Structure 1
């Protein structure tokens, strides 16, 4: 059984069909990129999987659980993590405290008569920060961090509920090329080590072709293509609808994943 099975997923807003009968699967230990031009239905599809939007029809199965009709927080507690296009952290709190809050939420223990919330799960929070390379900044306020480091903290927060599925919305948005490569290399390592399935949206095609195992492409709410990088690069519907007239992906210098040796290529020309 696939980790995530999406079947016949549709969403209408009045007379507009934002997502139209979309189906796909995601396996454990796999990075699946959800692609498409503006208005293709990516965000709508993504938010239905997360429970933020109810579908008009269709099924979203996470292992043995049907997610349709569930609240986002209940989906989170099943083991579905989430990061956002604009990093969601508490700027006035320390890096460590941000991760501690996620752990406290996971255990549904906001306070104790004998132990203040700020002292709970400190060791586990620190271990998560070590995983994402932010342990040295544990005592710093999130508000003073560089944006790339905030994204790493957000990833640690997403890992706090020990997810089997991680939803990443534009994970490298606003980051420099070096930071993008480092974050996705880190994500690839965690996926491999912990067998997490990742569904992500992304506009940086160098990231997509370097790190995605598979890709699905939407246009006007419909799924028009799916497959590996070579399949997507050579699909005429993708070239026309997604990349635009006269623009196709051509091979370029490979990006090297220092964490796991995973490489990819592709630039928009």
Structure 2
């Protein structure tokens, strides 16, 4: 049985159908890229999967358990991690303290006052920071970090609940090319070694083709193609959609905007 099974998921805003009858599955340890032009409905789809938006209809089964109707924090506690296009960290806290806050939430200790929060789960926080290459910056304030380091920290926070499913909305946005490659190599390693399923959106096709096991293409709220990188490169409808948006396929391995 697939870890994640999505069936006929739909969401409209007024008269605009943002997501229309989207169905797909995701296996344990698989990296699935959800791509498409701006406004295709990718973020809306993500926000329904983790409960930030209520779906108009459809089903989202995570390990056989229905997620539709559950609150984001309850979905998080079931083992669904999430990163965002814009990093969400506490700038005045240290790197370690940000991870400790996530661990306190995971262990249900946010409102426990027996010990100072900074004294809790330090070793576990350091293990996660070491996993993402940020242990050497554990005592630095987040407000002074470079953007690429913030993205790594956000990944450590997302891993604090020991997720089986990781939702990553444009994880490399705003990063330099070398940082993008390094981050996605790290995520791919975690996916394979720990059998974490990863669903991610991304505009950098170098990243998508290099690190996804399968791709889905969303356009105007509907999935128009699913398959391997080679399948997507050769799909006439996908090429037509992107060409219409000022984007072309490179003959080798990437799809770049020429707008």
TM-score, normalised with respect to structure 1: 0.92
Inter-partner Cα distance in structure 2 for 1:169 and 1:137: 24
Task: Kindly report structure 1 stretches of 4+ aligned residues shifted beyond 4 Å.
Answer: none
| TM-score computed with the length of structure 2 as normaliser | 0.96
Moved more, 110-119 or 169-178: 110-119
Q: What is the number of equivalent residue pairs in this alignment?
A: 257
Q: Which residue of 2 aligns with 1:244?
A: 244
In structure 2, stretches of 5+ residues that fail to align are none
Give the match's secondary structure for 1:248. Answer: strand
Deviation at 1:112, TM superposition (A): 4.3
Task: Establish whether residue 266 from structure 1 lines up as the match of residue 236 from structure 2.
Answer: no
Deviation at 1:75, TM superposition (A): 0.3
Residue 2 of structure 2: aligned partner: 2
Residue 195 of structure 1 is matched in structure 2 by 195
Shift of 1:251: 4.2
| Residue aligning to 1:260 | none
Given that residues 6 and 25 in structure 1 are in contact (C-alpha distance below 8 angstroms), is that contact kept between their aligned partners in structure 2? Answer: yes
Residue 107 of structure 2 corresponds to residue 107 of structure 1: yes
Kindly indicate whether the alpha-carbon contact (under 8 Å) linking 2:11 and 2:18 is maintained by their aligned counterparts in 1: yes
Q: Which residue of 1 aligns with 2:57?
A: 57
1:27 and 2:15 aligned: no
1:111 Cα shift?
Answer: 5.0
C-alpha contact (below 8 Å) 2:10/2:20 kept by paired residues:
yes
Aligned to 2:210: 210
| Aligned-partner Cα distance in 2 for 1:40–1:267 | 17
**Aligned partner of residue 11 in structure 2, secondary structure:** strand
Q: CA deviation at 1:41?
A: 1.1
CA offsets 1:91-136 (integer angstroms, 9 cap, x no match): 1100000000000011111254542111000000000000000011
State the match for 1:259 in structure 2.
none
CA-to-aligned-CA distance 1:135-180 (integer Å, 9 cap, x gap) = 1111111111111011101000000000000000110000000000
Aligned counterparts, 1:1-269, within 5 A: 1-110=1-110, 112-244=112-244, 247-252=247-252, 265-268=253-256
* Runs of 5+ consecutive residues of structure 1 not aligned to the other structure: 253-264
State the superposition RMSD in angstroms: 1.4
Q: CA deviation at 1:244?
A: 2.9
Specify the SS of the correspondent of 2:37: coil
C-alpha distance 224-98 of structure 1, shift in aligned 2 (>3 A): same
1:23 aligned counterpart, secondary structure: strand
**Distance between the aligned counterparts of 1:161 and 1:245, measured in 2?**
39
